[in-house]
Every structure is written in structure tokens, then in C-alpha cells.
Homo-oligomer: A and B are copies of this chain.
Amino acid sequence: MTAGQRAKNNTESVDNYLKAILYLSGVAECRVTIKALSERLLVAPASVTNMLQKLAAAPVSLVKYERHRGVQLSASGKRRALEVVRHHRLIETFLYEVLDYPIDEVHEEAERLEHFISERFEERIAAKLGDPRVDPHGHLIPTMDGKMPERLPRDLILLSDVEEAGAYLIDSFSDRSVNTLRLIEACGIAPEVRLRVKKCAPKGYEVSVGRSTKIFDLSREVARDLRLMRLPK
């Protein structure tokens, strides 16, 4: 490194690797393969190996990495990853609640900004929003001290796995597909709203949302993005 250049770990890129590892290792926190990371990040496997070697060798190492045996986050890697997720979900909530963004535009903007906001910005939007527990999709927001909050033990199920008609509460939905999000929003689907499943056919679902009696047809595609909580009959 030449004089006048500072080591800049903690780049956008590093953040994205950490987030991807966090996501892929899941609740079990198991090892993540290079291939899985490569696919999620849309980056060649060789590039992933390279980056992981750097992350592991960093002065304060962000991942535990052994050749041919996959990666896991280290304690500090996990802390950083959760901080970025906190940024992401707070920004989404802020865009939705304060700036009246359409729900399907919230993810892309947050994906960029999450890397560049300061601690102060984080603190101010959290305050403005009253320290929200979930984002507009119903996903839990990690706490300021870098932990994922426990959720009340809920009996969760994807709509696509529902096999009998009945009453449910909407827990959360994926932020992946813009089209699905538009559709979901158009039906009035939102976290903590009641969903009544009228019929489940192999091709799709008939549901009503909230107090409305209007019936919507949802495809299996959409149903895979909807996470519900069973309500007692």
C-alpha cells in the first residue's frame, strides 16, 4: 500500500458478502459454499474464493474460512452483517412511511443506501419512526446493539403450503419480485392483516383480505412469497 492511501475494508462489496453469508447460513448458522455465494452475488466462484481469503486474513477477520470447507461469519462479521440489515430495513421503513414510496421501489433504493448512511442517519430515522420492530414487508429489524430480535414463537406457514381453508394472519412477504409486490399491495396485503383462505386448488388460491369480502385469486408463484400465521379456529 502506497503512502497516502488508507486501507478501506468495509466497502460496499464486503458488506454484500457478509449479508449473503448471513442469509445463506440461515438460522442454523451452517457453513456456506462458494458456489452458493457465487450464485447469490452473481460473481464468479474464483472471485468469491479470493474475497473470502481477504476477509479471513483481515486484521480483524470477518469470516471463518477453511479451504474447501466453506465459510461462516465470525462474531464481528455477524455484527457487521446485522448492522447492514438493520440499515436496509430501517431505510425501507423510512422510504415507505415518511417518503411515501411505492412498496415495490423500496428495496432497490435501500440496497444502495444501506452502505452509505452514517450512524447519525440511522439513529435519526429510527427515532422518527419510533424504533420500529419490523419493516414494511414484516421482516424483523435487528437491534441497535447488533442482534436479531426474538420473535414471539409463531406457527408460521407459507401460503403455498396451506392445504385447507381457514383464517390466518399475514406475517411477512418477500421483497424479491416487483410484480408480486405490486399485486400484494393491490390486494391490501400487509403485515398483521387478516387473510381468509377460501379455496386452495393446485393452481392457486382464493383469499379475502382484512375486513373486505372481495375475493382475490393468487397464483402459486405469489403464494410462495407469503408467510402466514395460523389463527385458532
Closest chain B residue to A128, Cβ basis: B99
Separation in Å of the A128 CB from the closest CB of chain B? 7
Separation in Å of the A10 CB from the closest CB of chain B? 14
Residues of chain A from 110 to 129 with CB closer than 8 A to chain B in the complex: 112-113, 116-118, 120-121, 124-125, 128
Asked if B113 contacts A101 (CB within 8 A), the reply is no
Query: Cβ of A185: which chain B residues have Cβ within 8 Å of it?
Result: none
> Within the assembled complex, what's the spacing in Å between the Cα atoms of A98 and B94?
12
Separation in Å of the A127 CB from the closest CB of chain B? 9
> Within the assembled complex, what's the spacing in Å between the Cα atoms of A118 and B112?
9
Copies in the complex: 2
Interface membership of A105, Cβ < 8 A: yes
Asked if A120 contacts B125 (CB within 8 A), the reply is no
Interface membership of A161, Cβ < 8 A: no
Closest chain B residue to A118, Cβ basis: B109
Asked if A124 contacts B112 (CB within 8 A), the reply is no
Closest chain B residue to A42, Cβ basis: B4
Separation in Å of the A117 CB from the closest CB of chain B? 7
Closest chain B residue to A121, Cβ basis: B109
Residues of chain A from 89 to 143 with CB closer than 8 A to chain B in the complex: 95, 98-101, 105, 108-109, 112-113, 116-118, 120-121, 124-125, 128
Having A98-B128, A101-B124, one finds 12 other A-B pairs with CB under 8 Å, namely A95-B121, A95-B124, A98-B98, A99-B128, A101-B120, A105-B120, A109-B120, A112-B116, A112-B118, A113-B113, A113-B117, A116-B116
